[in-house]
Amino acid sequence: DAGVIQSPRHEVTEMGQEVTLRCKPISGHDYLFWYRQTMMRGLELLIYFNNNVPIDDSGMPEDRFSAKMPNASFSTLKIQPSEPRDSAVYFCASIKGGLPYNEQFFGPGTRLTVL
Amino acid sequence: GQQLNQSPQSMFIQEGEDVSMNCTSSSIFNTWLWYKQDPGEGPVLLIALYKAGELTSNGRLTAQFGITRKDSFLNISASIPSDVGIYFCAGQLRLTGGGNKLTFGTGTQLKVEL
């Protein structure tokens, strides 16, 4: 299996621009998570989906952030407009629910820099 | 959001030394996990603990799930250069749909001197 795939790996943009981060979960996994990692706040859960439906978006910082999962194999995290404080590494993770012992598998992350 | 308190924040040790780090929470978790993150990569699961009081080993790694379910520690014996990285604890809560939700610790940066 290819694992969780994220693109782009690096993104540099200017303040005010729209940014779209992409994630392909592991095939067969029915949960997808978006995390943000910064030095100040560590790893934070932003939102997660179950069977393509957003379940808990309480971690989304503000209305500038939105996430979608149009099908089981693709999700996007969009920031519009972007601000310098959004600079962070964004991770996507997936898991297959319903198993006695299940592990979240993380993608390699997208390093976002907003100038 | 909630974060777990992890200590130490960083460690600089010599190759061959043993390493110990711990994690505490104000909340109870039904599973504790330890992850390692290499530069430029996502966290990778090292050890999972499912029962209070459980002591689990994975090669040179040993971890324990505290009896109160609010803490855990990780030991690495005889450290080697490839142990360098950031180690995270994570408390896991099961979700009603069968998935799980993680809350991560603040991380311990480990550096190993040859």
B72-100 confidence digits (pLDDT tens): 999 999 999 999 999 999 998 887 766 78
Is B3 within 8 Å of A42 when comparing Cβ atoms?
A: yes
Question: What is the distance between the alpha carbons of residues A15 and B49, in angstroms, rounded to a whole number?
Answer: 43
Q: What is the pLDDT of residue A40?
A: 84
The values of phi and psi at residue B83, to 5°, are -75, -10
State mean pLDDT over A32-50: 92
Out of B40, B99, B104, closest to residue A42 by CB:
B104
Q: What is the pLDDT of residue B9?
A: 93
Residue A101 banded pLDDT, cuts 50, 70, 90: low
Q: Is the pLDDT of residue A10 over 60?
A: yes
Sort out which chain A residues have CB atoms less than 8 A from B88's CB and list them. 42-43
Question: What is the distance between the alpha carbons of residues B10 and B59, in angstroms, rounded to a whole number?
Answer: 22
Q: Select, from the ranges A6-10, B1-5, B45-49, the one with the highest average predicted confidence (pLDDT).
A: A6-10
% of chain B at pLDDT higher than 70: 96
Q: What is the pLDDT of residue B112?
A: 85
Q: Kindly report the average pLDDT of chain B as a whole number.
A: 91
**Stretch among A37-41, A63-67, B41-45 having the lowest mean pLDDT:** A37-41
Q: What is the pLDDT of residue A1?
A: 63
Q: Kindly report the average pLDDT of chain A as a whole number.
A: 93
Q: Is the pLDDT of residue A31 over 60?
A: yes
Residue A88 banded pLDDT, cuts 50, 70, 90: very high
State mean pLDDT over A54-73: 94
Q: Is the pLDDT of residue B1 over 60?
A: no
State mean pLDDT over A6-19: 97
DSSP state of B69: S
**Stretch among A48-52, A74-78, B109-113 having the lowest mean pLDDT:** B109-113
Any idea of the CA torsion for A64, A69, A75, A77, to the nearest 10 degrees? 0
Question: What is the distance between the alpha carbons of residues B64 and B114, in angstroms, rounded to a whole number?
Answer: 28
Is B42 within 8 Å of A50 when comparing Cβ atoms?
A: no
Q: Give CA separation, B18 vs A101, B15, B65, B80, in Å.
A: 29, 9, 19, 10
Q: Which of B36, B65, B102 to mutate to test the interface with A (most CBs of A within 10 A)?
A: B102
Lookup: tokens for A107: 């993608």
Residue A17 banded pLDDT, cuts 50, 70, 90: very high
